Chains A and B, each alone.
Chain A
Amino acid sequence: MIGGLFIYNHKGEVLISRVYRDDIGYVAQRSFMVTSCIKPATLFNVNLFVCRRNAVDAFRVNVIHARQQVRSPVTNIARTSFFHVKRSNIWLAAVTKQNVNAAMVFEFLYKMCDVMTAYFGKISEENIKNNFVLIYELLDEILDFGYPQNSETGALKTFITQQGIKGQTKEEQSQITSQVTGQIGWRREGIKYRRNELFLDVLESVNLLMSPQGQVLSAHVSGRVVMKSYLSGMPECKFGMNDKIVIDKQGKGGDLYAFCCSGKQSIAIDDCTFHQCVRLSKFDSERSISFIPPDGEYELMRYRTTKDIILPFRVIPLVREVGRTKLEVKVVIKSNFKPSLLAQKIEVRIPTPLNTSGVQVICMKGKAKYKASENAIVWKIKRMAGMKESQISAEIELLPTNDKKKWARPPISMNFEVPFAPSGLKVRYLKVFESKLNYSDHDVIKWVRYIGRSGIYETRC
């Protein structure tokens, strides 16, 4: 299991060090003032440090101060393995000498970042120094002898408060412990809101690679359902979407939803993963998504689809080489969604050859500019409604070169944001049941929002 955990700043100074196991050797009892004297990584230094069983320094010398780009997030230095993740300027490193579950170590490091962010905001050197006592306290709680323990912020915040826990009554204490160890470790009891409210965000990023002739080479949507819940008590929720498997099972006759829906009724989900609050065995057997949500914001599910994706934009490129020193480019974009909807933040990036000397652009809508430093024409449109089209034409002057190699013609890429889910996913319902408190599903105010963004959205030309 994890033998120790260290947090470094960008200079390699230790901000936090917690050793769980003897085998990784005692923490460097050396101040960071020594750091500046240490020369860049050499084999000699590696050995030197290993001899001193000095895990902290070994990592600094070999990873943080390494001249090369990091070649692997797991480094083995003298039979000691270092796992690291970097958040802005801060390095988090877990150290072990055993054959640990590597995926778990990384997941733990991410979790650790989440917990710290939830407690004191951005992970920065200053914040870490300001909260080092708290971090030690958290580390003591969420990692015992290198085994990750309950690390849900909701639960942790009930008893790691930096205020002491003197005032608690016996009932409160046992409530804390039963929550920390219980089946619903992510939510504490006794939450009360005057207004029961929940927000569902369906966030999708649509990825496309299209041939110049308009043939889809690859397309997929990766989506997330993010939920913000402000619900009292321990509500039991049930989430429903237009999952093809569910709809098919219910049959068209019986289901009102299926009847109402025109056009695309259901979507085939390739794969999805859920927050730990979702009862996976129930999903596996009945494909129903039921859970008791954490309080506040969290990611309920992630999913991936590849079939029947609505491509919000179609890019039609036309590139003509006029002689050796001139290129004529015409690009048409067509929006392909309901006219009532508006796409935003549209940006089309048309690559230009390296030997471009000048560009003249004419566009009917938005603004276009040739950016020499990026070797591209960047065309920006603020808003665009559905079922419209717009076009840009450009004349590119080229310098004559001796280079025999032809220009590779990188693909035209696009960015945008649309107010619907390109996968076709629809939230059918989110039912809330709380039998102990006197509010019903109807009393809960629910908000649903769909945002589709471009991932890597490219058309070859």
Chain B
Amino acid sequence: MTDSKYFTTNKKGEIFELKAELNNEKKEKRKEAVKKVIAAMTVGKDVSSLFPDVVNCMQTDNLELKKLVYLYLMNYAKNQPDMAIMAVNSFVKDCEDPNPLIRALAVRTMGCIRVDKITEYLCEPLRKCLKDEDPYVRKTAAVCVAKLHDINAQMVEDQGFLDSLRDLIADSNPMVVANAVAALSEISESHPNSNLLDLNPQNINKLLTALNECTEWGQIFILDCLSNYNPKDEREAQSICERVTPRLSHANSAVVLSAVKVLMKFLELLPKDSDYYNTLLKKLSPPLVTLLSGEPEVQYVALRNINLIVQKRPEILKQEIKVFFVKYNDPIYVKLEKLDIMIRLASQANIAQVLAELKEYATEVDVDFVRKAVRAIGRCAIKVEQSAERCVSTLLDLIQTKVNYVVQEAIVVIRDIFRKYPNKYESIIATLCENLDSLDEPDARAAMIWIVGEYAERIDNADELLESFLEGFHDESTQVQLTLLTAIVKLFLKKPSETQELVQQVLSLATQDSDNPDLRDRGYIYWRLLSTDPVTAKEVVLSEKPLISEETDLIEPTLLDELICHIGSLASVYHKPPNAFVEGSHGIHRKHLPVQHSSIDTGESPVSSGPAANIEQTHVIPSQGDLLGDLLNLDLGPRSTCPRCPPCRWGLWTLTVLIACNSVLLLQVWLPAVKAKGLEISGTFTRRQGQMYMDMTFTNKALQHMTDFAVQFNKNSFGVIPTSPLPVHTPLMPNQNIELSLPLNTIGPVMKMDPLNNLQVHTAHETKSKAVILTFFPIYFSERQVFLATWKDIPNENELQYQIKECHLNADTVSGKLQNSNIYTIAKRNVEGQDMLYQSLKLTNGIWILAELRIQPGNPNYTLSLKCRAPEVSQYIYQTYDSILKT
């Protein structure tokens, strides 16, 4: 008997016929009919109208039929919630069945029917099944809790299922433990802060025991869960590692990768000089190599992960470069990944072999692969200086092949080689120039133009060459146009006598005939430079260029650390953090590598031992998204997630210090690098000689340099504006920081903001990718002015009272403290044993505030009454008082 016949019915009256068959008296007929329905469902026909008839077949003791009906229910119950109720009774009954297989089947299916009304009935059976005597039922029930949580999280919490699930971690059956761990891990992803899993040493021990006994899949769940645990010290980390390492010999590559993840994470905690640390590193290499003998899909996942591991800990695989040599029948995706890793592992020791391989690859058929191989040769030249000469000659050989895309790719990498080793290989320019005509890709054209411009003085016919590009100027891509403009200006500065006409021509093309703003701007700048001060022009245009870095395509260190925590998962395959491709609440919680606790007996200072630097780094995760993504995140600005400075506090901080003036204070991180593609801004406001300053430190935590910084303030409540542009002229190199002081003034337009202390400072900088990053942060501002006025002038409804609590000072100290912060006491009275202080202040935008501070001896709570025409500010004044008095 075959079932394929069910796929073939195609008649018009099919549904009607099925209906009749489903109501047939004979069991066998009914079963046949349900099979037909399922077949129709599979190929995408709508058979939902048969719902009541199918559900009728549910009351049966034929398990196969029952399973089919359940399958149907899972697919269509959502469309017909009312009808689905009909099935509930049968489910509840099955949950009591003496056969554990049927009990499990019922509870498993019920969880898949995502209808609210049904879930209500699910609770009782589920509770029983979680405590069932049979492990098969318990392991199914454990997963069912996760299903229920997905439908109705609140209900799961209310019904106490989470506790039952937690109890199952101590279950005697390893598979129940594994499923409970999987369910809890998934649930806790949507509650990142709740300590649902409650990973403590006892539980960890239970998990490690279950790890040895459960199925391969269970081992994966447990290992993935273990990787989220932070051992309290190196001893614990080591003992966990010791029990995880045997998994490296498992035949299932996912078990191996998950074990690698745990080990890579916990390695961070082990002292680098210990024997165990080094043994562990050695143990990691063979299993990673073995992964490459698996099926191609798993190889691909492994290679993507190895790419990360090699960047994080190159020592693990440095001896193994040969296994990454490409095999003839590897699928293309495996070849491309292997190539990447080969370049990462290339070193002086193995460069000869690598080059020989790359040369082979450059003659293959797949265009992408060949291009990448050619690029790789260039990267080798840049990375291993000793090999540069050989690489260049290999590239020249390849150019001789005249294969169009090979030539173009080679020229692009040769440009980089010129950058890295100036004045060394210029002899080959002649060969390059021969191929000018065959270049049709913008990248290659731009590279060639750059080379001609850069070495114009050595190329006799440079002007002719560049002129030839100029003919079709408007058809070129922007990249080529910009490069061509610069190249011709360079040429002019080097050989001014012969090329005047050419430069005129390109400048007019760029400025007058182009509607690309970038091009026009650059054109005008050059024009102005050349016409006003040719000497400066020479200095600017022909200035020495910074060296290019050896490694390219590196993943930002902080992203890398995050991805290491995701080894084996999709994130590690995409090389993107989970929130870049996962919607909703799942996976938003960011993972960090554990930080080694610096032990006291080593005598190392926390700064030098690395962990401190580590903390810094873990926060710099450039968002992978496009510019749009950044803009959407903007509202997070003031409520910064930076853990060291809770946002509500630093507003106060700033204020306090401002009033206290002339004081030097700690910078606060305004903009963590995470939010701004690696640019971290910390800053504060100070007052020196009556002038306000915004002191800032810009730190570049990205891998590329940043240029073109600018600052702009919004219209704010206090009229604060910068009085000069940002004094940043040089590009900010990676890991470099600059401190600068921006004088401020309060003559700008005043505009009431909500909240009042909201000052938005936009800093912009242009990274190489031209992404502009905008950020916002509020500041608070105030200025002292002694002022005597009548309390009565201001209506009484503007008076607000606040309590300053737990302050143990007498009136004189209070007065003194406030005076230090430029709040002067105008009068002091003693009424009925209470000290009354009268004070006044004026804000930069001309708002006056009058204050009355009542201090009762013996009572630590002071009463502050504030009167002001703009009662909105009172709240902030109160906060200021509070903080001044408590510091």
A residues in contact (CB < 8 Å) with B: 1, 13-17, 19-23, 27-32, 56, 69-74, 76, 79, 81, 83, 85, 96-104, 106-110, 126, 129-133, 136-137, 140, 144-145, 147-152, 159, 162, 164-166, 168, 170, 173-174, 176-178, 180-183, 185, 218, 222, 270-276, 278-281, 283-285, 299, 301-302, 304, 404-405, 408, 456
For B332, what are the chain A residues with a Cβ–Cβ distance below 8 Å?
A: 69, 71
Q: Which residue of A lies closest to B304 (CB)?
A: A102
Q: What's the Cα separation between A83 and B35 when bound, in Å?
A: 28
| Given A74-B573, A140-B108, A284-B245, A273 contacting B300 (CB threshold 8 A) | no
From A56, A166, A176, contact of B63 by CB (8 A): A166
CB–CB A14/B42 < 8 A: yes
Q: What's the Cα separation between A16 and B174 when bound, in Å?
A: 31
Main secondary structure of the interface of A (DSSP, over half): mixed
CB–CB A174/B297 < 8 A: no
B125 CB–A CB distance under 8 Å: no
From B112, B215, B250, B254, contact of A150 by CB (8 A): B215
For B583, what are the chain A residues with a Cβ–Cβ distance below 8 Å?
A: 23, 79, 97
For A13, what are the chain B residues with a Cβ–Cβ distance below 8 Å?
A: 43
CB distance from A179 to the nearest CB of B (A): 9
Q: What's the Cα separation between A166 and B249 when bound, in Å?
A: 41
For A162, what are the chain B residues with a Cβ–Cβ distance below 8 Å?
A: 64
Q: What's the Cα separation between A14 and B302 when bound, in Å?
A: 30
Q: What's the Cα separation between A174 and B257 when bound, in Å?
A: 34
CB distance from A13 to the nearest CB of B (A): 7
11 contacts between A and B (CB under 8 A): A71-B332, A74-B301, A74-B570, A99-B581, A144-B108, A147-B221, A271-B249, A274-B250, A279-B212, A285-B246, A456-B328
Q: What's the Cα separation between A133 and B71 when bound, in Å?
A: 10
CB–CB A79/B582 < 8 A: yes
CB–CB A304/B293 < 8 A: yes
From A145, A147, A165, contact of B217 by CB (8 A): A147
From B39, B75, B147, B173, contact of A181 by CB (8 A): B173
Sample of 8 further A-B pairs with CB below 8 A, known A281-B212, A284-B249: A27-B44, A69-B332, A74-B570, A133-B64, A136-B71, A147-B179, A162-B64, A274-B251
B363 CB–A CB distance under 8 Å: yes
**A-facing residues in B253-274 (Cβ within 8 Å):** 253-254, 256-258
CB–CB B42/A17 < 8 A: yes
CB–CB A273/B7 < 8 A: no
CB distance from B485 to the nearest CB of A (A): 33
For A101, what are the chain B residues with a Cβ–Cβ distance below 8 Å?
A: 220, 224, 254, 257-258, 568-569
CB distance from A459 to the nearest CB of B (A): 15
| Given A164-B63, A181-B136, A456-B327, A132 contacting B38 (CB threshold 8 A) | yes
Q: What's the Cα separation between A81 and B569 when bound, in Å?
A: 12
For A20, what are the chain B residues with a Cβ–Cβ distance below 8 Å?
A: 112
**A-facing residues in B12-57 (Cβ within 8 Å):** 35, 38-39, 42-46
B134 CB–A CB distance under 8 Å: yes
From A28, A30, A136, contact of B38 by CB (8 A): A136
B425 CB–A CB distance under 8 Å: no
B135 CB–A CB distance under 8 Å: yes
CB distance from A432 to the nearest CB of B (A): 22
CB–CB B175/A32 < 8 A: no
For B67, what are the chain A residues with a Cβ–Cβ distance below 8 Å?
A: 136-137, 140
B544 CB–A CB distance under 8 Å: no
Q: Which residue of A lies closest to B401 (CB)?
A: A405
For B216, what are the chain A residues with a Cβ–Cβ distance below 8 Å?
A: 107, 276
CB–CB A99/B135 < 8 A: no
Q: What's the Cα separation between A249 and B584 when bound, in Å?
A: 55
CB distance from A267 to the nearest CB of B (A): 15
For B573, what are the chain A residues with a Cβ–Cβ distance below 8 Å?
A: 74, 102
CB distance from A370 to the nearest CB of B (A): 22
Most chain A beta-carbon contacts within 10 A, residue among B4, B6, B137, B182: B4
| Given A71-B333, A147-B179, A284-B249, A130 contacting B4 (CB threshold 8 A) | yes
CB–CB B578/A99 < 8 A: yes
CB distance from B434 to the nearest CB of A (A): 14
From A71, A131, A218, A222, contact of B3 by CB (8 A): A131
B587 CB–A CB distance under 8 Å: yes
From A31, A72, A104, A177, contact of B44 by CB (8 A): A31
Most chain B beta-carbon contacts within 10 A, residue among A83, A149, A222: A149
For B143, what are the chain A residues with a Cβ–Cβ distance below 8 Å?
A: 144-145, 147
Task: Write out, one digit per residue, whether chain B residues 314-357 have a CB within 8 A of any chain A CB (1) or not (0).
Answer: 00000000100101100111000000000000000000000000
B459 CB–A CB distance under 8 Å: no
Q: What's the Cα separation between A30 and B214 when bound, in Å?
A: 41
**A-facing residues in B114-152 (Cβ within 8 Å):** 114, 134-137, 139-140, 143-144, 146-147, 150
CB–CB A408/B363 < 8 A: yes
CB–CB B221/A181 < 8 A: no
Q: 8 shortest A-B CB distances, which residue pairs?
A: A271-B286, A177-B136, A129-B4, A284-B246, A103-B254, A104-B254, A280-B246, A99-B578
| Given A69-B332, A76-B574, A1 contacting B186 (CB threshold 8 A) | yes
For B2, what are the chain A residues with a Cβ–Cβ distance below 8 Å?
A: 129-130
Q: What's the Cα separation between A101 and B568 when bound, in Å?
A: 5
Q: Which residue of A lies closest to B98 (CB)?
A: A170
CB–CB B38/A133 < 8 A: yes
For A148, what are the chain B residues with a Cβ–Cβ distance below 8 Å?
A: 217
Q: Which residue of B lies closest to A176 (CB)?
A: B101
CB–CB B136/A102 < 8 A: no
Q: Which residue of A lies closest to B208 (CB)?
A: A281
For A147, what are the chain B residues with a Cβ–Cβ distance below 8 Å?
A: 143, 179, 182, 217, 221
CB–CB A97/B582 < 8 A: yes
CB–CB A99/B566 < 8 A: yes
B571 CB–A CB distance under 8 Å: yes
B592 CB–A CB distance under 8 Å: no
Task: Write out, one digit per residue, whether chain B residues 605-628 have a CB within 8 A of any chain A CB (1) or not (0).
Answer: 000000000000000000000000
For A168, what are the chain B residues with a Cβ–Cβ distance below 8 Å?
A: 99
CB–CB B39/A132 < 8 A: yes
CB distance from B457 to the nearest CB of A (A): 32
| Given A102-B568, A181-B139, A270-B286, A31 contacting B45 (CB threshold 8 A) | yes
Q: Which residue of A lies closest to B298 (CB)?
A: A106
CB–CB A107/B290 < 8 A: no
For B224, what are the chain A residues with a Cβ–Cβ distance below 8 Å?
A: 101
Q: Which residue of B lies closest to A86 (CB)?
A: B297
CB–CB B42/A132 < 8 A: yes
CB–CB A29/B258 < 8 A: no
CB–CB B44/A150 < 8 A: no
For B212, what are the chain A residues with a Cβ–Cβ distance below 8 Å?
A: 279-281
From B135, B258, B293, B300, contact of A177 by CB (8 A): B135
For A270, what are the chain B residues with a Cβ–Cβ distance below 8 Å?
A: 286, 289
CB–CB B254/A149 < 8 A: no
For A144, what are the chain B residues with a Cβ–Cβ distance below 8 Å?
A: 108, 140, 143
Q: Which residue of A lies closest to B114 (CB)?
A: A22
Q: What's the Cα separation between A222 and B292 when bound, in Å?
A: 11
For B247, what are the chain A residues with a Cβ–Cβ distance below 8 Å?
A: 280
From A28, A99, A132, contact of B570 by CB (8 A): A99
Q: Which residue of B lies closest to A278 (CB)?
A: B249
Q: What's the Cα separation between A107 and B220 when bound, in Å?
A: 11
Q: Which residue of A lies closest to B71 (CB)?
A: A136
B528 CB–A CB distance under 8 Å: no
CB distance from A1 to the nearest CB of B (A): 7
Q: Which residue of B lies closest to A455 (CB)?
A: B327
| Given A22-B114, A159-B101, A456-B327, A145 contacting B333 (CB threshold 8 A) | no
CB–CB A174/B250 < 8 A: no
For A110, what are the chain B residues with a Cβ–Cβ distance below 8 Å?
A: 295, 298
For B140, what are the chain A residues with a Cβ–Cβ distance below 8 Å?
A: 144
CB–CB B586/A98 < 8 A: yes
Most chain A beta-carbon contacts within 10 A, residue among B46, B328, B573: B573
Q: What's the Cα separation between A398 and B42 when bound, in Å?
A: 60
B572 CB–A CB distance under 8 Å: yes
From A14, A131, A283, contact of B246 by CB (8 A): A283
Q: What's the Cα separation between A70 and B401 when bound, in Å?
A: 28
